[in-house]
Every structure is written in structure tokens, then in C-alpha cells.
């Protein structure tokens, strides 16, 4: 038995935030409470005891938006390296996107990803399946079969579904599976060849900009389609105020709509984009300060349901080229929590409780994963978090194969120091 004493436990699913002990047995949470007495434990307290004073203990994070690149792009990441990166970042369950090579659009590929995840034996890895065959946006995948094989949602993430009728049908058919359709909202005509958010910063750099409407227009379409079909819609990586208007309207109407936001869209803006560093190039692009503030407010008030990293690794070679030519995406699994803590929780812009709610309880609930809480009987997927642990982000320290993060070289404060999955200690941070 594992007995963790005097931790500040945060578990929004139980409304808990306070100093407590947690006992774990057989891979599950046995009990938790203030000053658990050894006599109350089944084996009289025969346990491995860890004093957690000064640290937080919370459910392992659940990341609903991760690119693990396997099969086909293993030079960027694979399921094993991505799993190591996940647990270093405190993520114990994740859903990985279908824009691999080949695209995850068949039962065999869904089963392959799940099996590779099991073999990596670190975080719990769940596949997202594509909405359309080959992500070509033309013909729906066999959704019922894919869900039966273990897909937890459907997404053509990486590309917007341009054809509204295809999206309408996807929302209709996905209802049979209970899985959400995750929309990468991007009107390709509006986005054009843009490489960063359109505005004064893109003009100053002389770079082609993507208007915020490229996202919001499609978000509004998809929210309306969710209303019309009664389908289950989840908006990936929202980055613009107009998208929030559509989201809030859909929620107010009682439609089954949720949304996520990525840490980088809450912390950085288009003003931070250096012309010479394509690690800041991401899709959707870094927002204006006004949009960033609106995103933070929406996360705090619950209009945005959850946090997700959108971990999108690319090799150094791919990124080491002019901004216009580099691929979109940021590696984020290992820095998401530390960056959120450093830039939002420490300065009082986001509570620790809402962070855990949005990055554990809510995604687990939305994607029906057995995770996101420390309720007695739940799998003991846990993070011991030291709010004062400082570390500079370096390529060498990362488990991910790629280090394309805008936080490279920055010192972040607040890191996971131990991560357990199913009661097994699978990561321990050392100085």
C-alpha cells in the first residue's frame, strides 16, 4: 500500500482542495481524508509512506489533444517517446490525433495505436479517429466500427472540414457512437497562405496574416450544425473572441458543445512572435492580446471547458528554416503544466483548482475516460507537484524527440516531481 501524507490535494470532482492523506492499494485510490489513521487502513498501515508536505497532489492530467506522430512520422515523435514526455509533464491519459501517415481511419490503425500505447506502459493512450477517409474531407469513416475498436472521438485535426454537409453528416453519425466530433475550425479560403495572426504584428513583420475569422466562421457553422443535428461537438484549440461568441451562444441554447484552449494561446500573443524563430509558429496562430484576455476569461468562467496541450512535435531540421516555410506546431506535453503554473497560477490569473478541473476532470468526463479524479475506487493516476521546483526548458532535458517550444531557454516554476499511473510510480524528477 502507498500512503501519501500531508499533501495539498486538489480534486475538483469531489470539491476537494486542502491538506490530506491519500492511501492507494491495488492500483486504485483506497481512501483519502484529513489525517487518515493507520488503524483505519486494511493492513493496519503497513505502507510505503511519503511525506508530501508543501506539495500538491492531484489527479493525473488528461490531455485530449496530442500529436504522437506514429505511424509514419517517427522522426518527430513516437508513441513511446510521447508517453515519456506525457508523464514528465504530469499527463497520465491522453488522446492522440489522427493526422499520422497513414491517417488513423481504419479499425486496424485504431487498434495499432492503442496497442502501442499499452506496450509503452506509461500514460494511458487513447486514439482519436479521423472524421473523413484519409482526412480528405470528402467521405466519412466507418465511425461505429472505429468507436468499437477504441476511438474516443473523431477529428480531422490539422485541417478544417471545408464541406458543411460532410460536417453535418459527421455530427449526425457520431451520435450513434456517443463520441464527440472534434472540429479544427479553419476556413481555408479565409486562412489563405497566412502564417501568423493577421494584425499590426503580422504587418510589422511583413508576413501574411490569418484573420481570426478563419476560425470563428467555421466555429459558428459547426455550433449551428450541432444545434440542428443534436450532435456532440468539441471545438479544438479555440483562439479568437468570435469563436467564443459562437460557443457561448451554443451553450446558452443548450446544445452539446464544448471547447478547449491551449496554454500557448493563453500565455503568448502575436506581439511575442519573433520573425527569426519558427517555434512560435502554430495553427491557429498566437492571438492578439485582446483575444488572449478573452480566452482567459472564458476559461475562468467555464465557457471554455478544458485545457489541452496540442503537443505538435516537429524536428529541428523542419523548424530551422524561414518562418513562412516552417510547419505549424509546438511541442508542449512537458511544458504545458509548468507554463500554466508560472504564467497564470502564480500571478493569480487562474486558480489551481480551475486548472486541474479543466485539465483533468472535464476532459475525462467529455471523452468518457476512467480518469480525472481521486475518488476512492478510481485508478490511482496521480501527480505530486512542487510549486517551487524551478527548471530551465532545454532540448536536452526533454523526453520528446522534438524541442520546438517557444519556452525554450525560459525558467519555469512549478513542476510535477512524481507521476503514478495505476498506483505505479512511473516518473520521478531529479535535480
What is the binding site for ligand DOR (CB under 6 A)? 67, 99, 157-158, 184, 282-283, 312, 327-329
Q: Spell out the residues 6+ positions from residue 314 whose beta carbon is closer than 8 angstroms to its own.
A: 76, 326, 327, 329, 331, 402, 404
Q: In whole angstroms, give the CA distance from residue 320 to residue 317.
A: 5
Structural element, H or E, at residue 201: helix 200-205
Nearer to ligand DOR, 131 or 356 (CB): 131
Query: How big is the chain, counted in residues?
Result: 431
Q: Which of 105, 279, 310, 357 is catalytic?
A: 310
Q: Residue 361: how many CA atoms within 13 Å on its side-chain side?
A: 19
367 burial via Cβ count (<10 Å: 0-12, 13-18, 19+): buried
Report, in Å, the least distance between residue 65 CB and ligand DOR. 9
Report CA torsion sign: 158, 162, 167, 170: negative
- Smallest distance from ligand DOR to CB 330, Å: 7
Minimum CB–partner distance for residue 204 and ligand DOR (Å): 22
Pair 98, 128: CB distance under 8 Å: yes
Q: How far is the CB of 84 from ligand DOR (least distance, A)?
A: 19
Taking residue 423's Cβ as centre, other Cβ atoms within 10 Å add up to 18
- Please say which residue, 67 or 354, places its beta carbon nearer to ligand DOR: 67
The number of angstroms, rounded, from the C-alpha of 403 to the middle of its chain's C-alpha atoms is: 17
Active site residue 305: no
Complex with ligand DOR: residue 21 or 157, whichever CB lies closer:
157
**Residue number, 59 or 158, with CB nearest to ligand DOR:** 158
Query: In 3D, which of 401, 249, 231, 387 has the Cα closest to residue 313?
Result: 401
Rank residues 75 and 386 by Cβ distance to ligand DOR and give the closer one: 75
Q: To the nearest whole angstrom, how small is the minimum distance from the Cβ of residue 48 to ligand DOR?
A: 41
Q: Which residues are catalytic?
A: 310
Amino acid at each position: 500500500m502507498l500512503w501519501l501524507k500531508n499533501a495539498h490535494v486538489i480534486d475538483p470532482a469531489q470539491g476537494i482542495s486542502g491538506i490530506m492523506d491519500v492511501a492507494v492499494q491495488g492500483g486504485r485510490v483506497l481512501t483519502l481524508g484529513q489525517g487518515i489513521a493507520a488503524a483505519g487502513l486494511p493492513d493496519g498501515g503497513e505502507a510505503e509512506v511519503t511525506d508530501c508536505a508543501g506539495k500538491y497532489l492531484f489527479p493525473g492530467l488528461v490531455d485530449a489533444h496530442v500529436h504522437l506522430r506514429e505511424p509514419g512520422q517517427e522522426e518527430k515523435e513516437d508513441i513511446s517517446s510521447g508517453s515519456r514526455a506525457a508523464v514528465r509533464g504530469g499527463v497520465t491519459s491522453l488522446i492522440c490525433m489522427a493526422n499520422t501517415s497513414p491517417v488513423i481511419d481504419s479499425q486496424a490503425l485504431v487498434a495499432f495505436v492503442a496497442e502501442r500505447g499499452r506496450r509503452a506502459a506509461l500514460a494511458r493512450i487513447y486514439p482519436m479517429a479521423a472524421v473523413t477517409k484519409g482526412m480528405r474531407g470528402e467521405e466519412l469513416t466507418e465511425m461505429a466500427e472505429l468507436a468499437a475498436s477504441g476511438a474516443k472521438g473523431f477529428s480531422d485535426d490539422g485541417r478544417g472540414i471545408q464541406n458543411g454537409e460532410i460536417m453535418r453528416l459527421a455530427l449526425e453519425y457520431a451520435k450513434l457512437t456517443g463520441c464527440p466530433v472534434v472540429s479544427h475550425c479553419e476556413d481555408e479560403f479565409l486562412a489563405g497562405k497566412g502564417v501568423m495572426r493577421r494584425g499590426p504584428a503580422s504587418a510589422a513583420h511583413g508576413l501574411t496574416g490569418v484573420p481570426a475569422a478563419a476560425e470563428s466562421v467555421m466555429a459558428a457553422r459547426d455550433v449551428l450544425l450541432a444545434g440542428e443535428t443534436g450532435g456532440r461537438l468539441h471545438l479544438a484549440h479555440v483562439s479568437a473572441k468570435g469563436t467564443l461568441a459562437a460557443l457561448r451562444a451554443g451553450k446558452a441554447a443548450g446544445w452539446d458543445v464544448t471547447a478547449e484552449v491551449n496554454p500557448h494561446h493563453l500565455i503568448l500573443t502575436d506581439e511575442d512572435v519573433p520573425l527569426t524563430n519558427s517555434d512560435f509558429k502554430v495553427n491557429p496562430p498566437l492571438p492578439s492580446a485582446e483575444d488572449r484576455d478573452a480566452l482567459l476569461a472564458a476559461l475562468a468562467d467555464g465557457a471554455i471547458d478544458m485545457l489541452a496541450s496540442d503537443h505538435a512535435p516537429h524536428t529541428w531540421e523542419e523548424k530551422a528554416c524561414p518562418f513562412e516555410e516552417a510547419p505549424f506546431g509546438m511541442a508542449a506535453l512537458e511544458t504545458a503544466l509548468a507554463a500554466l503554473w508560472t504564467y497564470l497560477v502564480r500571478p493569480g490569473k487562474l486558480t489551481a483548482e480551475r486548472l486541474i478541473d479543466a485539465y483533468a476532470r472535464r476532459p475525462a468526463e467529455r471523452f468518457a475516460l476512467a480518469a480525472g479524479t481521486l475518488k476512492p475506487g478510481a485508478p490511482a493516476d496521480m501527480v505530486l507537484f512542487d510549486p517551487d521546483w524551478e527548471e530551465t526548458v532545454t532540448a536536452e532535458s526533454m523526453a520528446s524527440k522534438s524541442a520546438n517550444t517557444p519556452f525554450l531557454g525560459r525558467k519555469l516554476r512549478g513542476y510535477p516531481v512524481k507521476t503514478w499511473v495505476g498506483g505505479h510510480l512511473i516518473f520521478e524528477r531529479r535535480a
